[in-house]
Amino acid sequence: MYNVDELKEKALKAKDKKASIGPDINLDEYDDAPVPHSYMAEEDLCTLPEEEQQRLIMAGLDVQEKERGGTFFQKDTSVIHCHSQQEGIEVLPIRKALEEHEWIKDYYWKLVAVDTDKYTAAAELGLHDGYVIRALPGSKSIYPVQACLYLDKEGLEQNVHNIIVAEEGAELHVITGCVTSAHIKKGIHVGVSEFFVKKNAKLSFTMIHNWAEEMAVRPRSVGMVEEGGLFLNNYICMKPVRSLQMYPTTYLEGKDAVARFYSIIVGSPGSEYDLGGRIYLRNPGNRAEIVTRTISNGGSIIARGHLVGEVPEIKAHLECRGLLLKGGTIHAIPELEGRSEGVEMSHEAAVGKIAQEEITYLMSRGLTEDEATSTIVRGFLSVDIPGLPPELKAEIDKAIEESDKDMM
Amino acid sequence: MLLIEDLKVEVGGKTILQHIDLEIHPGETHVLFGPNGSGKTSLLMTIMGYPQYRVVAGKISFKGQDITHMPIYERAKLGIGISYQRPPTIHGLKTRQMVSICARGEIDVVELARKVNFEDFLDRDLNAGFSGGEIKRSELLQLMAQNPDLMLFDEPESGVDIENLQVVGKTIALLLQKNSFPDQDKPKMQLKLERRKMGLIITHTGFILDYVAADKGQVLYDGMLSCLSNPREILNCIHENGYKECVRCIM
Ligand SMILES: Nc1ncnc2c1ncn2[C@@H]1O[C@H](COP(=O)(O)OP(=O)(O)OP(=O)(O)O)[C@@H](O)[C@H]1O
Ligand SMILES: [Mg+2]
């Protein structure tokens, strides 16, 4: 049962609770006071300054809303635009949902524990807003819904809570970007996300992050997938960030449920990333895959992965590949945990540099050393993600293309 | 023209080629025989410019330029191309993209691939899990796209099945303008004059000779080259007397 007082109480108790992993962030250094911004009509989005639009585009947000099924746009603490253009797909701010809809209470804090750590506590005690995206039973999203969390105010602590629901038989694609404005240096983003993939539903969630050099980022997300459902979770982060730590978890709660996590990370100097993915396979026929590609240009990257096979007749694979291009560290920690006979679980992990042989091969076809290197790097980062709509694949390719320019 | 003069090459401090002289004129194709480990691949890699094959003496020139110490990609730009015996796999790079890269511009990749029965492989990662014969066709396809003036083929027909052997043979002949069954409309003399491509083909079996009208043949033995001769005669000699005898009898 949803009980506001109980939630607040639990949150208060966890207010100073450090996270189990990752560097601790002193939240007192940030300001979580609301920053009002006025709501923008659809047509106004195009009047955003060119520079701002460019940064949004890099995180997958298209202000023209071409080939998008809906938009949610939050700047600092205020929702400045929110609407759906597809029947059967609802997009609304979470505060509004909590005020107006009873059903949201079946989802709010149902997967993520409010007292997980001080970040989840902050998201409850100082909630600004966030999005709720729900695909009604049987509805199919033709175009992805885009959601953007924009940070503009220096020193802000942005607390958001998102809920994504694909009802029975629905198909929903979401692309979400977190972006900071060009001038911003310091801030923290705290984002709680809860994913519900109902029976035979399909959800693809593609997150592209563009942070600033002094940003701290603490997403906390948990998903659940019912019988026959598919949850595709893609994460792309190619820009510097001071500290990013997350360990999204998904529970496969029905038979034949499938979850796939794909992450592509490029770590810049001075950046610290601690990323992971955890999937519990709890029913026969469950499939899980965690694929991570990391490149370090001098950043420090910890790439975790944890697959838990609880019953027989499940299949899970973890693949973690890292390339050290210009110093830095990559620490791959793949974990497989079989709790029953008859589980089929495997992993491959590799950390290294680009093979000279591959570079010379391309050079003998007329590419310079730099061109050859960037071609190989691009190949390394381009993971085939089955079931991802072409528009989203194109967004990922674009992000890779962009980072390529920065790297070389 | 490719001109190699008294070349000596080391790998990891060990001499693998010495006293190598070779001259390939525009329009000419040479064939190179030799036992396993004799240095054939090393010679091709040295011509292409692989830095681990260290030239310690002698000189290589191409089109009148001294290329002995020129970086690989500059040699490629100058018009040297190679079909490898064992190319590396490049994950995430589609064969289609690689063919475009080789072409350095707009080409119809599918159309080109069709010529070597390779259209079904274009969306696969380059060389990833390719069979021996598939690798040869992939390499050939890349060379077709690149269309260099000097083409080095490292055992292009080994591992290729009988049907594809014909495809490979004819394609190489076409690339080198060395078709055994030339365009009947043109007089032989004119064809010879128009022919500018140069080729150096490594072969163990000599099957390729059925398709490519090679001009000259040589045996590489123990890091040294024998004198020039007719490729068919060399092949017969090797069959009858073995490599070692053959080097001696020709010399
Ligand atoms: N990088 C290397 N390090 C050490 N030895 C090498 C290296 N490359 C080649 N060699 C050695 O040089 C010799 C010549 O090798 P090469 O590959 O040129 O032979 P090949 O004539 O092409 O043989 P094959 O017919 O088997 O293809 C061999 O003994 C080989 O082991
Ligand atoms: Mg060889």
pLDDT tens-place string over residues B103-128:
987 889 999 999 888 999 999 999 99
Lowest-confidence segment of A345-349, B12-16, B148-152, B240-244 by average pLDDT:
B240-244
Distance from CA of A52 to the nearest CA of B (A): 32
Structure tokens at A124: 């409850």
Chain A residues whose beta carbon lies within 8 Å of the beta carbon of residue B104? 366
Identify whether the C-beta of residue A404 lies closer than 8 Å to the C-beta of residue A374.
Answer: yes
Which residue of chain B is at minimal alpha-carbon distance from A370?
A: B73
Angle, helices B162-175 vs B132-146, to 10°: value is 20
- Rounded Cα–Cα distance for residues A16 and A23 (Å): 14
Tens of pLDDT along B40-95?
A: 999 999 999 999 999 999 999 999 999 999 999 999 999 999 999 899 999 999 99
DSSP string, B93-117: EEHHHHHHHHHTS---HHHHHHTTT
Task: List residues in chain B touching A: CB distance below 8 A.
Answer: 48-51, 71-73, 75-77, 81-82, 84, 87-88, 90-93, 97-98, 101-102, 104, 125, 142, 146
- pLDDT average per 10 residues of sequence, chain A (408 residues): 87 96 94 91 83 78 82 94 93 96 96 97 96 97 91 95 98 92 91 98 93 90 98 92 95 98 92 96 98 93 97 96 92 96 94 94 95 91 81 79 66
CB contact under 8 A, B88 and A367: no
The predicted pLDDT at position B184 comes to 58
Indicate the SS3 state at residue B49: coil
Identify whether the C-beta of residue B30 lies closer than 8 Å to the C-beta of residue B47.
Answer: no
* Ligand at shortest distance from the CA of B153: 2
- Rounded Cα–Cα distance for residues A309 and A337 (Å): 6
Identify whether the C-beta of residue B149 lies closer than 8 Å to the C-beta of residue B197.
Answer: yes
Question: Nearest Cβ partner of B88 from A357, A381, A382?
Answer: A357
End-to-end CA distance of chain B: 24
How confident is the model over B160-179, as a mean pLDDT? 88
DSSP string, A109-160: TSSS-TTSSHHHHHHHHT--B-EEEEEPTT-B-SS-EEEEEEE-STTEEEEE
CB contact under 8 A, A364 and B102: no
- Rounded Cα–Cα distance for residues A382 and B92 (Å): 6
A44 touches chain B (CB under 8 A): no
CB contact under 8 A, B73 and A381: no
Tens of pLDDT along A110-152?
A: 999 999 999 999 999 999 999 999 999 999 988 899 999 999 9
A386 touches chain B (CB under 8 A): no
pLDDT at B239 over 90: no
Q: Running DSSP on this structure, what letter comes out for residue A380?
A: H
Identify whether the C-beta of residue B138 lies closer than 8 Å to the C-beta of residue B150.
Answer: no
User: Ligand 1 in contact with B107 (CB < 6 A)?
Assistant: no
User: Ligand 1 in contact with B203 (CB < 6 A)?
Assistant: no
User: Ligand 1 in contact with B41 (CB < 6 A)?
Assistant: yes
CB contact under 8 A, B102 and A358: no
The domain of B16 spans 2-250
Give the number of other Cβ atoms within 10 Å of residue A314's Cβ. Answer: 26
pLDDT at B223 over 90: no
The predicted pLDDT at position A40 comes to 87
Shortest CA distance to A121 belongs to which of A245, A215, A16, A28?
Answer: A16
Q: Could you identify the atom of ligand 1 that is nearest to the CA of residue B39? A: 18
CB contact under 8 A, B90 and A362: yes
Which residue of chain B is at minimal alpha-carbon distance from A373?
A: B90
User: Which residue do the tokens 């895959």 mark?
Assistant: A289
User: Ligand 1 in contact with B184 (CB < 6 A)?
Assistant: no
Sheet holding B54-62, edge to edge: B14-24, B2-11, B54-62, B65-66
The predicted pLDDT at position B201 comes to 96
- Rounded Cα–Cα distance for residues B69 and A217 (Å): 50
The CA angle A238-A242-A244, to the nearest 5 degrees, is: 70
Q: Does the predicted model carry a pTM greater than 0.90?
A: no
User: Ligand 1 in contact with B205 (CB < 6 A)?
Assistant: no
Higher pLDDT, B187 or A288: A288
β-strand partners of A306: A278, A335
pLDDT at B251 over 50: no
| Beta-carbon contacts below 8 Å between A and B | 61
Tens of pLDDT along A36-94?
A: 998 988 888 888 888 888 878 777 778 887 788 899 999 999 999 999 999 999 999 99
Residue with CA closest to ligand 1 atom 2: B11
Structure tokens at A254: 């029905």
Which residue of chain B is at minimal alpha-carbon distance from A374?
A: B93
CB contact under 8 A, B92 and A379: yes
Angle, helices B132-146 vs B95-103, to 10°: value is 30
- Rounded Cα–Cα distance for residues A332 and A177 (Å): 26
Q: Indicate the helix (H) or strand (E) that contains A356.
A: helix A356-363
Structure tokens at A63: 């202000």
The predicted pLDDT at position B16 comes to 95
Indicate the SS3 state at residue B75: helix
Identify whether the C-beta of residue A80 lies closer than 8 Å to the C-beta of residue A73.
Answer: yes
Cα(B41) to centroid of ligand 1, in Å?
Answer: 7
DSSP string, A231-277: EEEEEEE-S--SEEEE--EEEE-STT-EEEEEEEEEEPTT-EEEE--
CB contact under 8 A, A382 and B92: yes
CB contact under 8 A, A361 and B82: no
Beta strands (DSSP E) in B68-179 are 80-83, 90-94, 125-126, 150-154
Shortest CA distance to A132 belongs to which of A179, A172, A187, A181?
Answer: A172
Residue B240 maps to which CATH number?
3.40.50.300
A382 touches chain B (CB under 8 A): yes
Question: Nearest Cβ partner of A363 from B72, B84, B142?
Answer: B72
Q: Running DSSP on this structure, what letter comes out for residue B68?
A: T
- Rounded Cα–Cα distance for residues B242 and A356 (Å): 37
Measuring CA to CA, how many Å separate B182 from each of A209, A384, B209?
60, 45, 15
Instruction: Domain count for chain B, please give it.
Output: 1
Structure tokens at B158: 């080994």
The predicted pLDDT at position B227 comes to 73
Predicted-complex ipTM score: 0.93
Indicate the SS3 state at residue B228: coil
Q: Indicate the helix (H) or strand (E) that contains A169.
A: none
Residue with CA closest to ligand 1 atom 5: B11
Identify whether the C-beta of residue A201 lies closer than 8 Å to the C-beta of residue A167.
Answer: yes
A376 touches chain B (CB under 8 A): yes
* Ligand at shortest distance from the CA of B33: 1
Chain A residues whose beta carbon lies within 8 Å of the beta carbon of residue B84? 361
Higher pLDDT, B244 or A105: A105
The predicted pLDDT at position A81 comes to 93
Identify whether the C-beta of residue B136 lies closer than 8 Å to the C-beta of residue B127.
Answer: no
The predicted pLDDT at position B106 comes to 80
The mean predicted confidence, pLDDT, of chain B is: 90
Provide the CA A186 distance to its chain's centre, in angstroms: 20
Residue with CA closest to ligand 1 atom 31: B37
Question: Nearest Cβ partner of B73 from A358, A366, A381?
Answer: A366
Question: Nearest Cβ partner of B77 from A362, A366, A378?
Answer: A366
CB contact under 8 A, B101 and A362: yes
